[in-house]
């Protein structure tokens, strides 16, 4: 340990000195989600307009506090911020023209970081929050494994911002970086790690959707739950059910997994690999969930390629992947990330698990959504539309869509004709919009006189 401490002291610099390492035209990568640097960002943000130009910064799922490189440079004279996956913060900043989106399938992030074919995308400087160094000279990435290690090793300058509040999350793989592999260390101000409030109480529609999905979960199933209130609701309902021996392989470790552990239904005993461990790549949740993960050997922090690679996911039997969507058209094209041209979230790992879940023996990929939404004026709109909203991004192509679920039912789209898809979608649409959708289907010539809808 003494030799590591000597190296630690040599590499320890002030946050201001770290910020001075950034040069014009640099590409900077921030740690993912809750591993985003705070003190380094604040110091770098103060350099806006001091002669720096064209500094590009990439984040993933930006969380509070608002990055100073965004807030302190609204005219973007020095910094341009990009995000691989949008949170509410990214969304609002994008509305103001201060953030741009980098579209990609999440499992590819690790591949980009390790593959020299993508060297032009490697950062000049990488900075992330991590735990204090252990006796072996290692810093743990805590709540954001993702592709942190790959980017750190690929960068020209790698900087760790130590935060004593970061949970220690054992692996898995790539959950750490050794002091010999980094260039500098910042001892941060140990601000609290960003956490989310508990999910709001579900609506009656959400409960109906969740019940339809819970019915599909069998003993020994392997679960992936996406981001949002709906996946947590489903997990909480499963925790109160009599299902048993569930396994977890999910890009995100969500709050509901804690209750599922407490109820005894998660054992991971039936997984094809990582038996007895829940495999995940990042966590964005409540402090209670962070406390559960801290030092927990029953959970394994891994790279996002390891958790999300569709071929690897499909090795498990009875995979049930559950994700939210924003809208779907009568051709069964799914948009989960934009409202027209407005970026709401990102592809993330949705397509990864849609493909992996379907190819699993006994597996099912499920896309869930409430059938309607209200606009700012209180007008009701259908999420099932004749065609996607102009500008909407296709997140899941119709050829990949399997189960779609609303509060009015569920339909398996695989191998259905265009007529069958239209009928299935109209069956699970809100009754107030079914006649309108039927007329549109006829006009689009995806309706047959043999089709039957039990209104």
- Asked if the model's pLDDT at residue 78 lies above 60, the reply is yes
pLDDT of res. 448: 85
Q: What are phi and psi of 239, to 5 degrees?
A: -60, -30
Q: Are 152 and 144 in contact (CB under 8 A)?
A: no
Preceding peptide of 318 cis, ω within 30°: no
- Asked if the model's pLDDT at residue 313 lies above 70, the reply is yes
Instruction: Please give the average per-residue pLDDT across 259-274, as a whole number.
Output: 97
- Asked if the model's pLDDT at residue 24 lies above 80, the reply is yes
pLDDT of res. 314: 98
Question: Which domains are present in the chain?
Answer: 2-187 (3.40.1080.10), 204-443 (3.40.1080.20)
Percent of the chain past pLDDT 90, that is, above it, reads 93
Longest CA–CA span in the chain (Å) reads 81
Q: Rounded to whole angstroms, how far apart are CA atoms 266 and 37?
A: 33
- Which candidate, 307, 301, 410, 419, places its Cα nearest to that of 365? 410
Q: Rounded to whole angstroms, how far apart are CA atoms 99 and 29?
A: 14
Can you give the pTM of this predicted structure?
0.95
pLDDT of res. 216: 97
Structure token pair of residue 198: 């508990």
Neighbours of 293 (CB within 10 A): 23
pLDDT digits 0-9 by tens, 321-355: 999 999 999 999 999 999 999 999 999 999 999 99
Is there a catalytic annotation at residue 251?
yes
Structure token pair of residue 281: 């790549």
pLDDT of res. 198: 85
Out of 139-153, 196-210, 430-444, which region has the weakest mean confidence (pLDDT)? 196-210
Preceding peptide of 65 cis, ω within 30°: yes
Query: Any idea how long the chain is?
Result: 455
Structure token pair of residue 185: 């260390």
Q: Measuring CA to CA, how many Å separate 428 from each of 161, 246, 316, 437?
A: 49, 29, 30, 11
Rounded (5°) CA angle 204-210-213: 150
- Asked if the model's pLDDT at residue 449 lies above 90, the reply is no
- pLDDT confidence bin for 453, thresholds 50/70/90: low
Q: Rounded to whole angstroms, how far apart are CA atoms 84 and 435?
A: 39
β pairing state of 372-374 and 380-382: antiparallel
Q: Are 442 and 418 in contact (CB under 8 A)?
A: no
Which uninterrupted H or E stretch holds 424? helix 418-427
Find the helix packing angle between 431-443 and 418-427, rounded to 10°.
160
- pLDDT confidence bin for 52, thresholds 50/70/90: very high
- Asked if the model's pLDDT at residue 319 lies above 80, the reply is yes
**241-247 LR contacts (CB < 8 Å, sep 24+):** 241/214, 241/217, 241/265, 243/217, 243/218, 243/219, 244/219, 244/220, 245/219, 245/220, 245/269, 245/270, 246/217, 246/220, 246/221, 246/222, 247/220, 247/221, 247/222, 247/223, 247/271, 247/278, 247/316
Instruction: Please give the average per-residue pLDDT across 421-429, as a whole number.
Output: 97
Look-up: residue for tokens 């993330």? 348
Q: Which of 206, 251, 327, 423 is catalytic?
A: 251
Look-up: residue for tokens 């807030």? 71
- pLDDT confidence bin for 2, thresholds 50/70/90: low
Q: Rounded to whole angstroms, how far apart are CA atoms 67 and 251?
A: 24
Q: What is the full DSSP assignment across 183-211? A: SEEEE---PPPP-PPPPPPPPHHHHHHHH
Average pLDDT, the chain: 96
Q: Are 259 and 356 in contact (CB under 8 A)?
A: no
- pLDDT confidence bin for 454, thresholds 50/70/90: low
Q: Are 322 and 215 in contact (CB under 8 A)?
A: no
Q: Rounded to whole angstroms, how far apart are CA atoms 423 and 403?
A: 14
Q: Are 58 and 87 in contact (CB under 8 A)?
A: no
pLDDT digits 0-9 by tens, 200-242: 889 999 999 999 999 999 999 999 998 778 888 999 999 999 9
DSSP-derived 3-state class of residue 98: coil
Q: Rounded to whole angstroms, how far apart are CA atoms 163 and 166?
A: 6
């Amino acid at each position: 340990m003494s030799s590591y401490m000597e190296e630690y002291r040599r590499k320890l610099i002030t946050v201001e000195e770290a910020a001075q390492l950034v040069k014009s035209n640099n590409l900077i990568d921030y740690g993912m989600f809750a591993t985003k640097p705070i003190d380094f960002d604040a110091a770098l943000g103060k350099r806006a307009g001091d002669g720096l130009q064209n500094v590009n910064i990439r984040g993933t799922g930006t969380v509070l506090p608002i990055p100073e490189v965004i807030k302190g440079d609204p005219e973007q004279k020095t910094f341009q911020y990009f995000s691989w996956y949008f949170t509410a913060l990214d969304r609002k900043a994008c509305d103001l023209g201060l953030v741009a989106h980098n579209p990609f399938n999440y499992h590819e992030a690790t591949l980009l970081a390790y593959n020299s074919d993508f060297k032009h995308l490697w950062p000049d400087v990488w900075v992330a929050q991590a735990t204090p160094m252990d006796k072996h000279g290692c810093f743990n990435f805590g709540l954001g494994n993702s592709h942190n290690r790959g980017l750190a090793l690929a960068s020209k300058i790698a900087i760790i911002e130590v935060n004593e509040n970061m949970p220690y999350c054992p692996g898995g793989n790539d959950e750490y970086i050794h002091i010999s592999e980094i260039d500098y260390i910042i001892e941060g101000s140990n601000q609290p790690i960003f956490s989310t409030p508990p999910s709001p109480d579900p609506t009656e529609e959400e409960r109906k959707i969740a019940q339809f999905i819970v019915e599909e979960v069998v003993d020994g199933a392997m679960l992936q739950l996406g981001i949002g209130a709906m996946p947590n609701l489903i997990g909480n309902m499963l925790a109160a059910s009599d299902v048993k021996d569930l396994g977890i392989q999910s890009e995100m470790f969500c709050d509901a997994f804690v209750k599922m552990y407490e109820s005894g239904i998660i054992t991971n005993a039936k997984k094809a690999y990582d038996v007895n461990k829940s495999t995940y790549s990042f966590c964005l949740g409540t402090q209670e969930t962070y406390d559960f993960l801290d030092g927990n050997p029953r959970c394994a922090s891994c790279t996002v390629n390891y958790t999300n690679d569709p071929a690897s996911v499909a090795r498990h039997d009875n995979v049930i992947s559950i994700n939210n969507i924003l809208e779907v058209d009568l051709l069964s094209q799914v948009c989960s990330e934009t409202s027209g041209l407005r970026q709401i979230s990102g592809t993330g790992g949705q397509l990864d698990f849609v493909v992996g879940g379907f190819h699993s023996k006994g597996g099912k990929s499920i896309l869930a959504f409430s059938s309607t939404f209200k606009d700012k004026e209180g007008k009701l709109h259908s999420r099932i539309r004749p065609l996607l909203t102009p500008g909407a991004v296709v997140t899941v192509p119709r050829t990949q869509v399997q189960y779609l679920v609303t509060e009015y039912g569920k339909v398996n789209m695989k191998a259905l004709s265009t007529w069958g898809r239209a009928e299935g979608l109209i069956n699970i649409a809100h009754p107030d919009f079914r006649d309108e959708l039927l007329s549109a289907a006829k006009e689009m010539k995806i309706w047959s006189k043999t089709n039957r809808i039990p209104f």
